[in-house]
Structure 1
Amino acid sequence: MPGRVRRADAQHDDTLETLADVLDQHLPAVFTAAQQTTASHRKHINTLHGVFLRCAKVTTLSSDGRYTRLSGEKAFGEKFREMATHPLGLKKGTDQADRVIKFIAGFVGFAIEHDFKQREANGEQDDDDVDDGPASRLVAQVLAFLLRGFQAKNKIARYRCVQLVALMINSLGEIDDESYKTLKSALLERVRDKEASVRQHAVVALSKLQDADEEVDNDSEDDSDDETAKGDKKSVTAVLVDVLNHDPAAEVRRAALFNLIPSPETLPSLLRRTLDVDTTNRRLAFAHVLAEIPPRSLSLKQRQTVLGRGLRDREEAVRKAAKKLVAKWAELLAQSGQDAEGIIEAFVGLFDVYTTDGKAIAEKALEGLFELRPDLIESIDLSDESFFQTLTPATALLVRTYIDHLRAQESSRLADVEPVATALAFYLQAAWTQLVVSLDADERDTDTERQLQFIVGELVNVAINLDYGDEIGRRKMFELMREMLQNPLLPPTLIPLCLDVLLKGTSERDFMRIVVEIVQSLRRDSHLVTSDSELGEQDEDDDIDGGAHAGSDSDRDGEPGDRDAAKKKASARRKSAVQTPQQAARRKDLDLRCLFVVKALLERVMSALQENSMLHGLVAELIVPAVKTKDYEVRAQGLICLGLCCLLDKSMALDSFQLLARQSESTEGELQVKVLQTLFDLIVLHGVNFGEERGFGSNLIIGFLGSSLDQEDPTAAATVVVGIAKLLLSGMVTDEEILSRLVLLYFASETADNPELRQCLSYFFPVYCYSNPENQRRLASVMVKSLDVLRTVYEDLKDKSTMVTPLQIGSQLVDWTDPQKVIDSEGIEPDETVQVDLAIRTLKALYRAEEKEARKLWCQLLPKLHVPEEADDSKIRSIMYLIDELKDNRPIADTVSKNALNRFQTALHKSFDERLDGLDEGARAAVEQSDDVKAIKAWVRKVEREESDESESAEEEDDDDDDAESEEGEEEESDASEEETEV
């Protein structure tokens, strides 16, 4: 019997009986209305909260009158949980359930906020001893109810419970430590749920605990050994980072991406999402995560890395998001109150433009700025003469990139921005003069030199694409380029740019003549360096000799022997002249400069060397001595120039191929890569048989290709694989052994740390196989052997995680040899019998295999093969005969293997029994007497005969061993009897 009802409101006297009617009347109606539309949620929340307050005021005394029961709150809580149960069973995507879930979360938040305001009005917000309000008690009941649903077997119930908790968690207010630990533990468990939708909402809910978790971790000193407690000690942030990096579902990673708080610990993982496999995640990483992070908060490397990824992404949506991020960064810099030029200076300062990669990213970023913020650029007067006279690295990059952008867009504004040739020549002359002065100064400033060099390079880049209709401007610019190239102070990085300007508007022949003259001028300077000391010694010797023979005509005429002796002495003196270290370094620098110029020249011409005798002379005078020198840098440049010459002259390629091949084995590092690239370019250009007349035909070339695959350096190995892949795709090389080596390299664990090699082969094999049926047949012919080798390698591995399983490898090889996947193109007909022959090879390997794992592998691959209905009767009969003989002579005991073989056999009988049974006696006899069937039968007899001979020889060896043992026993017995007789 309930006790007396206590009410603060004198106008109404609610009892538990009247509350039951109110709850039955209002709650179903409110929940029913809430599922129709979210627009009326606020009104219904107020209505429900009014009912809740009425119920909260109803209390009863206990039977002994010692304490008060919150009977009204209990009744409301029971009815509320009953109403909340209904949407928990509705699957994801049901709009009515989603609206009710939002309504419940909204009501909880409203009730908690009302309690807080009441406590604030009563001055109780800072009093820890005050009891929780009715809303807090209701939330605790609802939360406990929902946490039980976290363990439900039904995935829909788990999803809805976690979803509701994720929406409620912001409104929970302050909860006690025990409730917090229980909630955190439950969410951590759901983060590992097998359903992605459950994990997604668990991540959202868990992310709301990040700040609170840090406080709890700082204050907590719990040393419990309980396994759950130990799991709870892992911080929420660490869990979210782990989910962000490793969860297989894109939507789960997206939830972590949105909700993870950026910090020095989480920033690397957030930035890594710019490489996410999901396009949406990559786009959101730029649009919502990086957009909220100030650019100065990122390191230089991080800024360049993330923008480089975004601006070069294959998806247009991601590139647009990256460009918007660029505009966002520019807006943040504009808030500092700088003018447009200052903003550009600061923006370019975000990148390291002095490196190749940093400069390329800065160019891409500026292009994005041109598209989204054209007003920022147009406010700078680029046509002003003073602008070019006061260039900085940032403004130089800006003007060059902007001119290139306008030219690509074919914009009419280009004529207003681009300087005329004469004016640009004067601007460039002034910048070049400043650079020469800086380079020739006694006390050099590295930063100033780097800035001036960058400015000169950008102006030369502008000059490359300039309109040289003005003859005066053209002459002025070309004279300046020749002057710069002849100056030994010109930085090597500017040499190719100057040659590009010279090549503009001149014929290739004249271009080669001009550059050869420049090289000869530099070589004269080089000879002068070493001749100074020699001339000094020769003059001194001549003076001494002249003084000694001045009084004698006969001595002055001299005998022929004396003249020869004098020549030998003079030659000896010249040889004995030793260069100082400064002169040797100077000579080396000039030789390298000559080689740089020749290299840039050879990269820009296509004429044969015989057509230009001046250039051909440089080979003997400059390149060949450079190749023979012991200095590594000079020899490296000499080898590169020699390789470029070989690309222009086949006879020189014939003379130099073996030299370059030996150099590829004796060198290392970047030079080895360059030499290997040259060798493969020669083979691609001149053909595999181009050395037939010199005694190194295709066999020697194939041998070189095979030996080059044994590279230890990862970069060199990748270079070789790229070159061989090109030769195989072009059809110039068809060697199956080379193809088999590529298969081993692709799947072997040794190349797991060589992504460049793996990426090349992952592209090569599908293109190679699906483009040509002949290529599929080549791969099928080496598949069994290669797979057997890889299986052995896999079994010998200690750490098998570094390599995929043999079954996965075999399945991939079967997929590449599938004739159904050949590209449908004109003139190419798929070879439907590729995998029929592969089935025979596989069955032969299975017939010979003795190891359990090997037999299991071959059996599991057989059902994956495609055997077309049009297959030849003799081949089908051969396959069936092999299977029958295998079961009779080599029965399979393993259940998995036996089932796989039976599936393959059943499929064959289902497809071909009717056709084979329908043959007349003549046709059936023809099939049995066909070459394919006869060859298979002969092969089986041969294998059985070999097995029989081996077993007989083994038995004979056993008999011989037994006879030897019995003879030894008889001898021992006779010896023993003799000993007994003697005794």
Structure 2
Amino acid sequence: MSIADIFDDAQKSGINHRSLTKRLHKLEAKYEAQNKHSDFEEEIKDYVLRCLEVTKSERAGQNIVKFVCTYCAFEQSQISEKEEQDGDDEEDTNSVTSQILIMLLPHTAAKDKVLRYRATQIVSQLMGIVQEIEDELYQAIRHELTKRIRDKVPAIRLEAVCALGRLLENEMDQEAQAAQEKSRNSEDEEMLDDDDYEELESASLLDKLLDVLQNDTNADVRKALLLNLPIEPKTLPYLLERARDKDAAVRRVMYAKLMPNLGDFRHLSMSMREKLLRWGLRDRDERVRKAAAKMFSTLWIEQVAKTNAQTETQINEGIVPSIEGGEPQQPKKKHIGFYNADIPALLELLERVDVINCGQEDGAGQEAMSEFWNLRPDYVQAVVIDDTFLAELSPESAFMARTFYDFCARNPEQHLIALEENKLPEVTRFGFHLQTCLNNVLNMQALSEDEVEEEAIQEAEFICEQLLHIAHTLDYTDEIGRRKMFESLRRVIAMHDLPEEITKLAIEALRLTCTSDIAGEKEFIAVVQEAIAEVQDVLTEDKSSSTNEDNGTNREHSPADDESFVSAQSELSTRSDATARPVETQAELRTKNMTPEEAEAYHLKEVLIQLKCLNIAHTLLQNITSDFSSNISLDTMINTLIIPALHNQQAALRERAIECLGLACLLSPALERANRSVFVYCMRKGHDELRISCLKILCDCITTHHTKSTDTDNGQAAEQVDLSPFVKAFGYSAEVQTVATTCVAKLMMCGFYKPKIAPVEANQEDEEEEGGEKVVDVFEQAIEAATEAGTKGYELLTKVKAALVADARGKEQIEEPRRQS
């Protein structure tokens, strides 16, 4: 069989390439015996050149490339065996592989893209085969391939970066050696001229490939570099950055393939671990989310479990690692499958991802653990939350218990199994543990900064938050447990020293302990208002105790003494300075006999107490649905707490008060109509944060209480929507403009905008003859005003309008204009 016959068979199929390689090698031996090896090389190069003109889609060209690479790999193995037998380390510069590379290099810069692609492809694959190569040929190949990473054809760039990725390891070793030599010869730096320095700086292949990894427009090129670049401290940030790549396939490869090759995840920084979880679990592509969940649930947990299992095995076998050394250990068998469920390993994993930060509402810890319980049923079976577990809570174990309760709440069958196996404690016992944790927080806050660390307080508060989250998922059909939780939560709400988040969670849990009917809601409102009164009484108690200690004398009784901070009355219709004046008078009377330092501390505490009360009221209004007409005590809370806070000079109090008033207006249409001007005034006179809050409140009130245009018979709203506050907001800062345009777009999409088609000129003349008045839609005016002013986000309004018009056309809700006769 001749060389032509061998190449003819090789292009048909890739199955018989090995046998054809042996035949070609025998022919090469015959040519060498006849001293015609150069003829053999020329014939081989001739057939390789013929395949360069074959397009990428042709299967024959791909088969020839594979055959050439198979033969060159066989030749390299033969050369290595010969060198081992003869003991000769000299490079064989006349090998067929080297000759093919030399022949292909000029074609990598050809004008024809097919020639460039095939030449670059063969060179790229041959560079993964050769073991030794001349320095001059290496530099020439490196130079040509470096130029190809900027080629306009993505397939050529892909082959070039694959080849350069194979060369990079050697390149990095050379750079390390050069850096060492430079450090050793730092005293002789003047011996190197400027040209040498420029050559060293421009020769950094890694920097060029990293630039391609960041900026190449083709996803396959970035993916190839992601897999071929070595994992080094310098390259690791660039590799992990691909978790935010614009292409979903690249992001999935980063989680599915790069992370297993990375090794132990504990080498990463804690912030990077948290970012990888957040980016992956919240990705818009489902496959990326699955890859990130698998990384957390299988790769990371198994790495921790492996370390714990090896440590436990060494302890059981009596093997203690020694620095001085000892007898060499026997190689252990590779573990197959998952390690046994190890709860300490899970707790260590949660500690490694900083669960205190990522376990918050905006963190990715909850999503990670939700996927973890779904993917690891062995750990679900291993969890046992009993009294011993709750008595020794840590931030990690508390978070694990909270996510496990959430998992059981989403899966009723699993919840029944956990109850049958006594994995979950009773509600009564849980209430005792919750009270113990709350007392621990209060005790820590009572200590000075020298006696307790801030980190310990943060951990104790986090544990309480997780237990309160668990309280949201408990079954309160047990009356004894319900009463225990009710009393514990009632006391928690009245504690003014507790953080706002704990108080909020306690109020939400308290609502669950009450019945869902009207009577239960009235009980809930009464308990929360009692807690507000107890919190406000802290100021009165502090002042009375300080007065008795400092003065020791009785002063004349004043009518203001009979009124506490919560006893001021005012009607909803009257919001004048008379509401604020009694509060200011009481404050002046209380601070009359105090030193300036004591008065300042008292005013600060008063602001904090009022802010605490407003936060409680805010959470209360978020968790009720009844109208104010059915509960007069809510009116009292508005008059004595929220409205006075609106007149306060503290910005934080005004912001929280306006939010509370907005929630109240959502529950009462009459209250919304009476206080609409308040929101408009605060929007005009307040700062940007207050303006944004007012705009959102006005939008929500319109959405809740106003009648949509499609709800009436004639297609017009009973009360026209007032968009003047939103239009005025177009003249404020960019953040306010964005919120204003978003609110208008929301109202349009909620059905308050009735799309119309602009009539033709004939129709306009008919309307004028009939004497009809042209009705201008307020939304049309708002869109026109936003467009003319160039408001930030005005494009959203035009897009929403176009979408609504198109949707109405499709549903035949708009009359088509009459045709001109």
TM range (shorter): 0.7 to 0.9
Q: 2:169 aligns with which of 205, 211, 217?
A: 211
Q: 1:307 aligns with which of 277, 297, 309?
A: 277
Q: Which amino acid aligns with 1:370?
A: W
CA contact (8 A) 2:808 2:814 kept: no
State how far apart, in whole Å, the 1-side matches of 2:77 and 2:41 are: 18
Q: How far did residue 476 of structure 1 move? A: 0.6
Deviates more, 1:391-400 or 1:249-258: 249-258
Whose RCO is larger (CA < 8 A, sep 6+)?
2
CA contact (8 A) 1:181 1:232 kept: no
Q: 2:723 aligns with which of 683, 690, 702?
A: 702
Task: Say yes or no: does 1:611 pair with 2:611.
Answer: no
Q: How far did residue 531 of structure 1 move? A: 4.1
Q: Which has the larger radius of gyration?
A: 1
Q: 2:489 aligns with which of 457, 470, 481?
A: 481
Task: Say yes or no: does 1:413 pair with 2:417.
Answer: yes
Partner residue, 2:47? 83
Q: How far did residue 381 of structure 1 move? A: 2.5
Partner residue, 2:305? 334
Q: What does the per-residue CA deviation read over 1:584-643, in whole Å, with 9 as the maximum and x for residues that have no partner? A: 333222222111110100111122223222121111211122221122322322222122
State how far apart, in whole Å, the 1-side matches of 2:655 and 2:546 are: 28
Q: How far did residue 405 of structure 1 move? A: 1.2
Q: How far did residue 333 of structure 1 move? A: 0.9
* Matched ranges for 1:61-100 at <5 A: 72-100=36-64
Q: Which amino acid aligns with 2:24?
A: L
* Matched ranges for 1:106-117 at <5 A: 106-117=70-81
State how far apart, in whole Å, the 2-side matches of 1:214 and 1:463 are: 56
Q: List alignment gaps of at least 5 residues for structure 1.
A: 1-24, 60-71, 545-568, 691-696, 752-756, 774-821, 834-870, 875-926, 928-983
Q: What does the per-residue CA deviation read over 1:450-480, in whole Å, with 9 as the maximum and x for residues that have no partner? A: 1221111111111112111111110011000
Change (3 A) 1:575 1:241: closer
Q: 1:143 aligns with which of 83, 101, 118?
A: 101
* Matched ranges for 1:769-808 at <5 A: 769-773=802-806
Q: How far did residue 681 of structure 1 move? A: 1.9
CA contact (8 A) 1:425 1:477 kept: yes
Partner residue, 2:87? 123
CA contact (8 A) 2:409 2:473 kept: no
Change (3 A) 1:623 1:534: farther
Q: Which amino acid aligns with 1:712?
A: S
Aligned residue for 1:337, secondary structure, equals helix
Q: How far did residue 264 of structure 1 move? A: 3.7
State how far apart, in whole Å, the 1-side matches of 2:102 and 2:438 are: 78
Change (3 A) 1:163 1:123: same
CA contact (8 A) 1:56 1:134 kept: no
Change (3 A) 1:41 1:630: same
State how far apart, in whole Å, the 2-side matches of 1:484 and 1:232 are: 65
Partner residue, 2:779? 735
Task: Say yes or no: does 1:249 pair with 2:190.
Answer: no
Q: How far did residue 772 of structure 1 move? A: 2.1
Aligned residue for 1:269, secondary structure, equals helix
Partner residue, 1:472? 480
Q: What's the TM-score once normalised by structure 1's chain length?
A: 0.66
CA contact (8 A) 1:492 1:593 kept: yes
Change (3 A) 1:256 1:765: farther
Q: What does the per-residue CA deviation read over 1:695-715, in whole Å, with 9 as the maximum and x for residues that have no partner? A: xx999943321221233354x
Q: How far did residue 744 of structure 1 move? A: 7.0
Partner residue, 2:323? none
Partner residue, 2:110? 152
Partner residue, 2:741? 721
Task: Say yes or no: does 1:491 pair with 2:538.
Answer: no
Partner residue, 1:200? 158
CA contact (8 A) 2:611 2:656 kept: yes
Partner residue, 1:291? 260
Q: How far did residue 177 of structure 1 move? A: 3.8
Task: Say yes or no: does 1:46 pair with 2:22.
Answer: yes
Partner residue, 1:636? 655
Q: How far did residue 296 of structure 1 move? A: 2.1
State how far apart, in whole Å, the 2-side matches of 1:224 and 1:595 are: 71
CA contact (8 A) 2:149 2:157 kept: yes
Q: Which amino acid aligns with 2:540?
A: H
Change (3 A) 1:765 1:353: farther
Change (3 A) 1:216 1:717: farther
Deviates more, 1:244-253 or 1:394-403: 244-253
Partner residue, 2:246? 277
State how far apart, in whole Å, the 1-side matches of 2:667 and 2:367 are: 35
State how far apart, in whole Å, the 2-side matches of 1:702 and 1:362 are: 41
Task: Say yes or no: does 1:134 pair with 2:153.
Answer: no
CA contact (8 A) 1:340 1:380 kept: no
Q: 1:652 aligns with which of 671, 677, 684?
A: 671
CA contact (8 A) 1:533 1:577 kept: no
Q: What does the per-residue CA deviation read over 1:804-826, in whole Å, with 9 as the maximum and x for residues that have no partner? A: xxxxxxxxxxxxxxxxxx58754
Q: How far did residue 152 of structure 1 move? A: 2.7
Change (3 A) 1:593 1:251: same
CA contact (8 A) 1:351 1:358 kept: no
RMSD: 3.5
* Matched ranges for 1:748-763 at <5 A: none
Q: How far did residue 672 of structure 1 move? A: 4.4
Partner residue, 2:395? 393
CA contact (8 A) 1:115 1:134 kept: no
Change (3 A) 1:395 1:193: same
Change (3 A) 1:274 1:700: same
Aligned residues: 701
CA contact (8 A) 1:345 1:395 kept: yes
Aligned residue for 2:476, secondary structure, equals coil
Percent identity, please: 25
CA contact (8 A) 2:293 2:368 kept: yes
Q: Which amino acid aligns with 2:219?
A: A
Change (3 A) 1:636 1:210: same
State how far apart, in whole Å, the 2-side matches of 1:482 and 1:496 are: 12
CA contact (8 A) 2:707 2:719 kept: yes
Partner residue, 2:336? none
Aligned residue for 1:89, secondary structure, equals coil
State how far apart, in whole Å, the 1-side matches of 2:23 and 2:290 are: 47
Q: What does the per-residue CA deviation read over 1:557-596, in whole Å, with 9 as the maximum and x for residues that have no partner? A: xxxxxxxxxxxx9999667344533333332222221111
State how far apart, in whole Å, the 1-side matches of 2:160 and 2:785 are: 48
State how far apart, in whole Å, the 1-side matches of 2:654 and 2:452 are: 29
State how far apart, in whole Å, the 2-side matches of 1:689 and 1:576 are: 56
Q: How far did residue 398 of structure 1 move? A: 0.9
State how far apart, in whole Å, the 2-side matches of 1:56 and 1:672 are: 90
* Matched ranges for 1:442-453 at <5 A: 442=448, 443-453=451-461
State how far apart, in whole Å, the 1-side matches of 2:510 and 2:810 are: 45
Q: List alignment gaps of at least 5 residues for structure 2.
A: 180-191, 310-340, 558-584, 710-717, 754-777
CA contact (8 A) 1:27 1:83 kept: no
State how far apart, in whole Å, the 1-side matches of 2:446 and 2:665 are: 38
* Matched ranges for 1:222-233 at <5 A: 233=202
Q: Which amino acid aligns with 1:120?
A: E
CA contact (8 A) 1:529 1:586 kept: no
Q: Which amino acid aligns with 2:387?
A: E
More helix by share: 1
Q: How far did residue 390 of structure 1 move? A: 1.1
State how far apart, in whole Å, the 2-side matches of 1:264 and 1:719 are: 43
Partner residue, 1:238? 207
CA contact (8 A) 1:526 1:591 kept: no
* Matched ranges for 1:4-43 at <5 A: 25-43=1-19
Partner residue, 2:286? 316
